Amino acid sequence: MPELCLHGRVAILGSGREGLSAYRYIDALGTAADLQLITEGLSQRPGEADLVASGKLQLSRLEDAGLEQFDLLIRSPGISPYRPPIQAAIDAGVSVTTPSSLWFQAHPAARTIAVTGTKGKSTTASLLAHLMAKQGLSVQLAGNIGTPLLDCSDQAVDWWVIELSSYQLADLQGQPTLGVLLNLASDHVDWHGGEARYRADKLRLAELVKSGGLLANAADPGLREALAGRDDVAWFEVDELGRQCAMPPRLPGAHNRVNLAACLAVLKRVGGDSAAALTDVESYAGLPHRLQFIGAVGEVDIIDDSISSAPVATVAAMSALQGRKVVLLVGGLDRGVDWRPYAEALAAHPPAAVVTLPDNGPQILRAIENAGIRPELGTSEARDLQEGVERARALAPEGGVILLSPGAPSFPHFRDFEDRGRQFARHFGLEAEQVLPDALRAPGREGYERQ
C-alpha cells in the first residue's frame, strides 16, 4: 500500500458514515498522526459516544474549530469545501483531502467503475454490480451506496463499482478506470454555491476518468451540451434490445431502461455478455427506498421513494406510476432548487393529491399550482411526516397509491433518507427492507463495525 502521507495534526470533519469510517481507517494504520474528529452535530452512529468520551470527537462549529492549526483536513462528503472556514484553512496552507481520495490513493491499481448522475446512480451502480456478479465476476459495490470505501476490505476483486455523489466528486483526487455519467440537472445548489458549480463538480468525473474510459447518456441534453466537442466519450442509449427487455416490477419507468442501457454499455466494455444480462436483470432485487413497494393498507399501495432528494427523481417516480391515482408526499430541506421546470414536467403525469412536508413542501405546491396542475383529490400541508401520512391516508382512493417521493434532502428532520423511509413505513405499520443483497455488500475491514 502506498504511503498515505498522514502526519502531524489531522482533523476529520464530520462524524457521519464516512467521517467515522475515515477515523477507524487511519487509526488502524497506526500512523504518527495526532487525529481529531470535529463535528457540528452528532450523528448518533455506533462508536460516536465513545469518541466523545475519549475527547477525540469535538462538537464545534467549523468557524470556531481553529482549522488553520491543523496540517491536514479530511472532509466528509456532507461538508462543503466551499465553506469559508475550509477556504481560510486552505489559504493558510492546510491540506484538504477526502475519504474517497484516500481510498483511491491507497488503491492505484484497482479496476474501478465510477457511476454518477443527478438521478439513477444508486440503482445503476447496484444493478451493474448485480449483472457483473451474475456473470461470474468478483465485484465490490461501495461508495455513496452501501459500505464506505474505507470500510471495505482489501481483498482482491475483479471490479469495484463505486457510486459517487457531487459531494464526493467536488475535490476528488483519483482516477477511475471507467466513469458513467447518467444525466445532469439542477441539484444541491446551496451546498455547491450555485447551479454552475454543481454542474462543474458533477462533470469532474469526465476529467478524472482514465483516457477513453468515459461513458455518457446520449439522450440527456445537459450532458450533450457539456461534453460537446469531446471525441473520447462513448455515448450510450436505450437500443432496440433494451426496449424489448421485460423489466421486473422493481424497476418501473422509462428512466430505469436508461439505467439498464448504462449497465449494458459498461458490460460491453469489460467483456461481459449483454444478452445474458437481459435475463439476469429479472433477478435484481431492487434498492430499499427507491420506488420500493412496501405493502398495502386496505386497497391502497404504499411506495417508499425516500432516496428521492432531487425534483428530477420525483418527476421520474410520477412517470413510472402513470395511470395510477397517486397521493404524493413531497418536500424536505430547501436548498434553493427552482421547482418550476419540474412542476411543468409533472403536468404529463400529475398527482391526484399532494401532501406537503417541511420545509419546502408548500413552495413546491405553489410551483405545481402555478404550472396549471390542480390535484383532483385536493392538497394538504403537514407539520411533520406522521401528520403527512395521516392526511395522505384520508385523501387516497381505493386502488390508489401513497407515494413518498420528497424531491429534497431528509435532514435536518431525519438522520438520512434511510431513516426517513423507515419512519414512513412504520407509520403504516410496515417495514422497508434495509440491506443490500449479500452478494453486493462489500465486506468490512477486520475489526470494523458495520453500519
CATH architecture type of domain 9-97: 3-Layer(aba) Sandwich (3.40)
Q: For residues 113 and 215, what is the distance between their CA atoms, to the nearest angstrom?
A: 10
Which is it for the CA torsion 223, 224, 225, 231, positive or negative?
Answer: positive
Residue pair 35/10 in contact (Cβ under 8 Å)? The answer is: yes
Q: For residues 46 and 187, what is the distance between their CA atoms, to the nearest angstrom?
A: 30
CATH 3.40.190.10 fits 107-286, yes or no: no
C-alpha cell of 76? 466528509
Residues in the chain with pLDDT values less than 70: 1-5, 186-187, 241, 432-451
What pLDDT is attached to residue 186?
Answer: 65
SS3 content of the chain, % helix, strand, coil (to 5): 35, 20, 45
C-alpha cell of 15? 462524524
What pLDDT is attached to residue 450?
Answer: 23
| Homologous superfamily (CATH) for 292-427 | Mur ligase, C-terminal domain (3.90.190.20)
Specify the DSSP element, H or E, that contains 354. Answer: strand 353-356
Q: Please determine whether the domains at 9-97 and 107-286 fall in the same fold group of CATH.
A: no
- pTM summary value: 0.85
What pLDDT is attached to residue 187?
Answer: 66
Task: Please count the other Cβ atoms lying within 10 Å of the Cβ belonging to residue 64.
Answer: 11
The CA distances from residue 269 to 213, 235, 236, 252, 438, in Å, are 9, 12, 12, 26, 25
Orientation angle between helical segments 121-134 and 254-269, nearest 10 degrees:
50
- 194 Cβ contact list (under 8 Å, min separation 6): none
Tell me the pLDDT tens digit for each residue of 139-184.
Answer: 999 999 878 999 998 888 999 999 999 999 999 999 999 999 999 9
For the chain, the structural domain boundaries read 9-97, 107-286, 292-427
Return phi, psi of residue 301, to 5°. -80, 140
C-alpha cell of 4? 498515505
Query: Which residue do the cell numbers 407509520 mark?
Result: 427
What pLDDT is attached to residue 247?
Answer: 85
